[in-house]
Amino acid sequence: MVHLGRVMTDKELAPSMEKLNIEAPTGDDFHTSVYGSRFAAEDLPKHEMPEKEMPREVAYRMIKDDLTLDGTPTLNLASFVTTYMEEEAEKLMVEAFSKNFIDYEEYPVSADIQNRCVSMIARLFHVPTDDENTNAMGTSTIGSSEAIMLATLAMKKRWQNARKAAGKPFDKPNIVMNSAVQVCWEKAARYFDVEEKYVYCTKDRYVIDPEEAVNLVDENTIGICSILGTTYTGEYEDTKAINDLLVKKNIDCPIHVDAASGGFVAPFVNPELVWDFRLEKVVSINVSGHKYGLVYPGVGWVVWRDPEFLPKELIFNINYLGADQASFTLNFSRGASQIIGQYYQMIRLGKHGYRAIMHNLTLIADYLAANLKALGAIIMSKSGGEGLPLVAFRLNPEKNHQFDEFDVAHQLRERGWVVPAYTMAPHSEKLKLMRVVVREDFSRSRADALIADFKLALSTLEAMHPQRIKEHTQHMKKHATRTGRHKNINTHYNDEEHSLQGKHDKTHAVC
């Protein structure tokens, strides 16, 4: 998630280094090494563009050194985002850096590669291609957030058109979804003036209740969101049950499936699960290519069953740089690299390759869950391919620990691991949990290393005095960032009360 940056005032900017009474290098040349230049003794520009240039070798090294304070991507188990691709894929993506994907006339093959990916993904999601009247369509996006925005717009506009045609009011649209949705759903509803109608989680249920969801539908409902792999526990919501209830009750309400995380997992690990275009009420699906699609960020995809569900007035036919094209995106100019990376993965691995990778990730997730359970954790995620390859767990309250999941997360962070702790969605009694995402580069040996460090974290906390734990927790909260540069993060909006987090202290899980 991108933070709002804060622009510091001149008064807040302090001198970076005191003058030393020694002879300093003169001029811009450097002859010893990067660290013998005057730039190594100066702070990197942070607030205003410098007047003069610096040598490219120095700029590269200074920024590279600064970035070493970031976490290690392979140890970041909070994120679903891909951290490994083959060298050949990286070379193709680098070679496409300068291509502006929107320029279809200049880069027609890149544009066609997008269409190939859309077709492959739509067929993976069982668009009824056996019907000669099928006219499914889709587009690439920056990620699932943009895809969800587009799908929400399409559902809202279609609903408004139907209301206008019937001579009914069209100013109060709403959408039904689980309170455990990713924050992009809250954004889509808020940005496009759609009321959020939530099916709240409980202390025992973390997915949408189909009966409750359908009961919330009224004449102003533009659609229901069903999640294929929730961000907290990785569970697949029962899209088929929602679909069957809508059919049974003869309710004309579309379903959009948020398959951001599960769209490239379920078809290969649990192919018998019916959640996609095989269900008549499912009209659109999004998926993140940069999650289990195995591509570096950011790329997403959204597919519609038929033009009926993507109103024409949202499409702009434009002539840009000599080529006619139909456009439905929130962004215009964008690089072609991630789309080419997605195509590489799909033809390089094929269905067999994806199946092999997702099978291994499922086995490793189950192995990790079994070991954490043996250490006393309560496992909240599904095993055996019934959910995403992740492990959601919490401490056993019966053991009366003097520490909580956030304390364990802090201990693991000191060992380099980023294993986040969260406060669950509202109405779940502020349940706390931790989550480990098993990605392609998370091997069995790395799982063993995490298990050993988790065991060490527990023993360290158990040996600490409760007051010491409290002081340690307060210290970690105060110094939340590794670099101490949190002053640059804008705090003007910290007291917002319109989101689920602002209202209920829900922690939005990292995607």
Q: How confident is the model at residue 316 (pLDDT cuts 50, 70, 90)?
A: confident
Q: What is the mean pLDDT of residues 389-398?
A: 96
Q: What is the mean pLDDT of residues 42-51?
A: 89
Would you list the domain boundaries of the chain? 10-17+24-67, 136-331, 352-504
203 Cβ neighbours under 8 A, 6+ residues apart: 428, 429, 431
pLDDT value at position 480?
55
Of 391, 392, 398, nearest in space to 376 by CA: 398
Over residues 152-205, the pLDDT tens digits come to 999 999 999 999 999 999 999 999 999 989 999 999 999 999 999 999 998 889
Residue 107: which H helix or E strand, with range? none
- Which tokens is 490 given? 């804008």
CB 424 within 8 A of CB 506: yes
Other CB atoms closer than 10 Å to residue 183's CB: what's the count? 17
136-331, CATH topology level: Aspartate Aminotransferase; domain 2 (3.40.640)
pLDDT value at position 442?
96
Q: What is the CATH number of domain 352-504?
A: 3.90.1150.160
- Where do we find the tokens 């499912």? 282
Q: What is the mean pLDDT of residues 13-38?
A: 65
Q: What does residue 35 show for φ and ψ, rounded to 5 degrees?
A: -80, -5
CA distance 420 to 403: 15
Does the structure show a pLDDT above 60 at 298? yes
CB 445 within 8 A of CB 87: no
The partner residues of 437 in beta bridges, in order of sequence, read 390
Does the structure show a pLDDT above 60 at 17? no
pLDDT value at position 490?
61
Domains 136-331 and 352-504 share a fold: no
pLDDT value at position 22?
58
Q: How confident is the model at residue 439 (pLDDT cuts 50, 70, 90)?
A: very high
pLDDT value at position 467?
73
**pTM for this model (two decimals):** 0.88
Q: How confident is the model at residue 105 (pLDDT cuts 50, 70, 90)?
A: confident
Helix ranges restricted to H, 431-492 = 444-463, 466-478
Over residues 191-216, the pLDDT tens digits come to 999 999 999 998 889 999 999 999 99
49 Cβ neighbours under 8 A, 6+ residues apart: none
Tell me what the pLDDT averaged over the chain comes to: 88
Kindly list the distances between the CA atom of residue 137 and the CA atoms of 118, 130, 145, 326, 382, in Å, as whole numbers in the listed order. Answer: 7, 15, 18, 12, 33
CB 202 within 8 A of CB 233: no
Q: How many residues can be counted in the chain?
A: 511
pLDDT value at position 393?
97
Does the structure show a pLDDT above 70 at 511? no
Residues of the chain with pLDDT > 90, as a percent, come to: 67
Over residues 319-332, the pLDDT tens digits come to 655 556 677 788 87
10-17+24-67, CATH topology level: MYOD Basic-Helix-Loop-Helix Domain, subunit B (4.10.280)
